[in-house]
Structure 1
Amino acid sequence: MGMKAIFSNRLYKHEIDANFVMSMDHTLRVFNQAKHPRYQAGGRELRGLKEKSLVSIHQQLKQRYGLNDYYANSAVQEGRALLSAQKELKKVYMSNKKEQINAVKRKIKATKARLTTLQKIKASFVKLMWTLRYVLYD
């Protein structure tokens, strides 16, 4: 799924009517506030903490925030998209952690092998010193 670039004219706040700017600001704030309950409800449903309500989340958002169908539906879809994106990221994070754990295990194994080799070298030196001691003093 590729990104699509759409042409649009840029709007500057200082060139637009102040009432329109305030209205857009309010609309965007309410829309962003409406996304949170959808996201939270989806998370609770995934964890099994809450049963699905008789009233749809779409209707709940419309009633609670006074949104029209377009914004309420968009908030529901964005909340759902956030949940699915986090599921995908969780898989990526889990695979990354597994790779890190395996790297640490390999490092521990290599360090243990190196330590064993050094202990064997030390033991051979100690044995050599004891044999030289007996040879020199006998």
Structure 2
Amino acid sequence: MKPAMQSLCGALVAATLASGAVHAEKATTQSPDTSALPSASASAMKVSEGQVAEFADAYVAVQSLSRQYGSQLQQITDPEKKQSIQQQAQSQMQTAIKDSGLSLSEYKNIANAANQSEALRQRITVAVNNIIQPEKTEESGS
């Protein structure tokens, strides 16, 4: 089950955080135009182990907030209230990213780089698994 979890987390990192880059990458396979890619430096970006750990912390926090607010939003029909909650969620996600030690642009750059680099995606997946595995163990022990 661990390999499945790793591929799931890798897919989540790539899909959730850099979905625009995924579409750009698909467009690039059909055409040699590289202007749709996030940036050439994103794929060559050096990401330290500390940054990977910070990114993983931020990612787990953002996903938790996303689940929390997502379930709230499903129950709301008033568009104004829905927008207000979405703004609150976005603000808390940005705070979670900053609290992890990364700026918003660093977080986005790492996400884009992870979308371009299987090796970086794997490093992030391992870091995310190290964070969520104790949570999974506690849940199954209860």
Per the normalisation by structure 1, the TM-score is 0.31
Greater relative contact order (Cα < 8 A, sep 6+): 2
Per the normalisation by structure 2, the TM-score is 0.30
